[in-house]
Structure 1
Amino acid sequence: MYKSIIIGTGPAGLTAAIYLARANMNPLVIEGPQPGGQLTTTTEVENFPGFVDGIMGPELMDQMRKQAERFGAEFRSGWVTKADLSERPFKLTVEGIGELVTETVIISTGASAKYLGIPGETENVGRGLSTCATCDGFFFRNKKIIVVGGGDSALEEANFLTRFGSEVRLVHRRDELRASKIMQDRARSNEKIKWSLNYTPVAVESGPMGVTGLRVLNNATGQEEVFETDGLFVAIGHTPNTKFLDGQIATNEVGYIQVNPGTSETNIPGVFACGDVQDDKYRQAITSAGSGCMAALDCERFIEHNELKVAEPQK
């Protein structure tokens, strides 16, 4: 029986692994199909403290993983298909591994950005296409930028990106926005934002250096055209990766895990959550790492006061 199993290997999960491993708790970390999380799709990370010249996203995750391994964290690849959190010890069913038993669980499975599902999109992630304005806006100083979306997050990102881009065009497939009135008013008053409503994205255009434009369908005329751009930001929301929990953990109306304020504690004692799976506001590598530290410390203290005794085998 493990003292703790960490599900997920983004900045949150790896930070939790580092802390628990240093506390001699020998955590097991379950890596999903994308070890390292969303940062592995990011080219250069310039806002993570300690790296003056920036660092490539995959390299940062690799270093954090090696640091956790150095202190004794164990890593296994698999997909958690079922979690029985009804009583301690908890039981996790992992595809390719089988059933694992643990005293505590740290959930750091993140949230997956929603994509448009159009040609040219996937292959240009990190080559001018992004889902995080605060992460990558800096790279598009004095350049043309397109934001796709019609909700609060899209308008918030469009407003933020006007700090960098020479122009920011907002593309939305409907002729009305879903965003709140206050967000719409704020965006409408920003002269650097251009509006292209009632246009459906059809394909991402690109060249050797990355994104060059967005091909769209004018829903009013039925004609296709290309909006030239240097950067394309897809802002149509995120989906927290919590399906495997089958409703056992309390979430908000969008599906993000709810934690007790100021902690990583969920509604089930011994189960903790950190990173983007419980954060629909900041979604930054550094805040994820910080919440991973919180989860590890909360987990360690919980075990100190609630350690399970394993029965000795009969002779």
Structure 2
Amino acid sequence: MTDLFIIGAGTAGLSAAIYAVRAGKSVIVAESGTYGGQIINTPDIENYPGIAHISGYEFATNLYSQATDLGVKVIFAKVEEITGDGPFTIKAGKDTYEAKTIIIATGAKNRHLGLKNEERLIGKGISYCATCDGMFFKGKDVAVNGGGNTALSDALYLAGIANHVTLIHRRDSFRGDKADLDKLNTCDNVTFLLNSNVTGLSGKDHLESIAVTNVKTRETTNVPVSALFVAIGQEPDNQIFANLVDLDEKGYIKAGADCETSHPGIYAAGDCRTTSLRQLTTAAADGAIAATAACTYIDRN
């Protein structure tokens, strides 16, 4: 029987683990992929308070080492089933665990375009991580689809690698940080296509071009590119928890600033929960709040 079972070894999950183990609780963290979450692929973090510059890999590795050095047990397995009302029984991989409380910190996954040929061309020109795959297209023409911080960051990163970057956004203005947008405006190898959507993907063995349709004129343009980096947002992967906690219409776990879900003893932290802002700082804060609430719940029960 462990005190806390945390699902997800991203910023929220590992922050929760650190707070819980420092409070004297036993902690197991389950991760189905790589520790660190999506931030591990970010080349340069500039907006985390107190740290002017740090790579996502270094940040995630420091966080992981801090947690494990404190005694947090991390298992690399996918949680497949949770039963019980508390204590809970968790099936992860081939093993089964029992826990007094659960913190769900599964983050969110990249949203796909849903276009024909998209799945076939993943890894052959279609990518959802510029920092992971950008170097494969050094000196070539590429495109980025999106208008938020990730899209702007991706375009800026690729501008230093690719021959030319076409940044496509469905609205007439970007939602991302003005600082990154200002930097992009100084790049002579970046072109903006606003009020536009990617509507087609062409290529036999690899991506060769994309169809871009203007949402106002309905005119479609063929843009030759070797790669398209999709950065149109994220979506949660919470369906496995639907029988335990309430989800909103988009599939996010209903939990407020206190990180409490509809089920006593289960908490949600980070990008997987309903929130107006999904950032590194909010993930870390959620982890601390969820762990503290879980510890209080254990002490009272």
TM-score normalised according to structure 1 size: 0.72
* Counterpart in the other structure of 1:94: 92
* Counterpart in the other structure of 2:100: 103
- 1:40–1:77 CA distance, 2 compared to 1 (3 A): same
Partner deviation per Cα, 1:256-300 (whole Å, 9 max, x = no partner): 0011x3301100000000000004532211111111110011111
Tell me, in whole angstroms, the C-alpha distance in 2 between the residues paired with 1:252 and 1:202.
Answer: 36
- 1:72–1:114 CA distance, 2 compared to 1 (3 A): same
Higher mean displacement: 32-41 or 114-123: 114-123
* Counterpart in the other structure of 1:59: 58
Post-superposition offset of 1:88: 1.2
Partner SS, residue 55 of structure 1 = coil
* Counterpart in the other structure of 1:133: 148
Alignment partner of 1:169 is 2:185: no
Letter in 1 for 2:77: G
Q: Is the 8 A contact 1:249 1:266 kept in 2?
A: yes
Percentage of pairs with the same residue: 25
Post-superposition offset of 1:169: 3.1
Tell me, in whole angstroms, the C-alpha distance in 1 between the residues paired with 2:251 and 2:174.
Answer: 21
The residue correspondences of 1:40-79 to structure 2 (distance < 5 A) are 40-52=40-52, 54-79=53-78
Tell me, in whole angstroms, the C-alpha distance in 2 between the residues paired with 1:286 and 1:55.
Answer: 14
Q: Is the 8 A contact 1:44 1:57 kept in 2?
A: yes
- 1:80–1:226 CA distance, 2 compared to 1 (3 A): same
Tell me, in whole angstroms, the C-alpha distance in 1 between the residues paired with 2:174 and 2:221.
Answer: 29
Q: Is the 8 A contact 1:3 1:25 kept in 2?
A: yes
Partner deviation per Cα, 1:208-236 (whole Å, 9 max, x = no partner): xxxxx98313678987432799x95621x
- 1:196–1:132 CA distance, 2 compared to 1 (3 A): closer
Post-superposition offset of 1:109: 0.4
Tell me, in whole angstroms, the C-alpha distance in 2 between the residues paired with 1:281 and 1:57.
Answer: 23
- 2:279 aligned to which of 284, 291, 313: 284
Q: Is the 8 A contact 2:130 2:229 kept in 1?
A: no
Gaps of 5+ in 1: 171-193, 207-212, 307-315
* Counterpart in the other structure of 1:249: 245
Tell me, in whole angstroms, the C-alpha distance in 1 between the residues paired with 2:295 and 2:21.
Answer: 11
- 1:2–1:121 CA distance, 2 compared to 1 (3 A): same
Partner deviation per Cα, 1:98-125 (whole Å, 9 max, x = no partner): 2111000000001101134343233852
Post-superposition offset of 1:37: 0.8
Q: Is the 8 A contact 1:249 1:267 kept in 2?
A: yes
Q: Is the 8 A contact 1:16 1:296 kept in 2?
A: yes
Partner deviation per Cα, 1:56-88 (whole Å, 9 max, x = no partner): 11211110011111221111110001111x411
Tell me, in whole angstroms, the C-alpha distance in 2 between the residues paired with 1:106 and 1:252.
Answer: 18
Tell me, in whole angstroms, the C-alpha distance in 2 between the residues paired with 1:201 and 1:245.
Answer: 34
User: What is the total number of aligned residue pairs between the two structures?
Assistant: 265
Q: Which runs of 4+ in 1 moved over 6 A?
A: 219-223
- RMSD of aligned residue pairs (Cα, Å): 3.4
* Counterpart in the other structure of 2:211: 217
* Counterpart in the other structure of 1:186: none
Alignment partner of 1:269 is 2:264: yes
Letter in 1 for 2:50: G
Q: Is the 8 A contact 2:6 2:17 kept in 1?
A: yes
Q: Is the 8 A contact 1:169 1:195 kept in 2?
A: no
Q: Is the 8 A contact 2:6 2:28 kept in 1?
A: yes
Post-superposition offset of 1:302: 0.8
Post-superposition offset of 1:155: 6.0
- 1:164–1:268 CA distance, 2 compared to 1 (3 A): same
- 1:37–1:104 CA distance, 2 compared to 1 (3 A): same
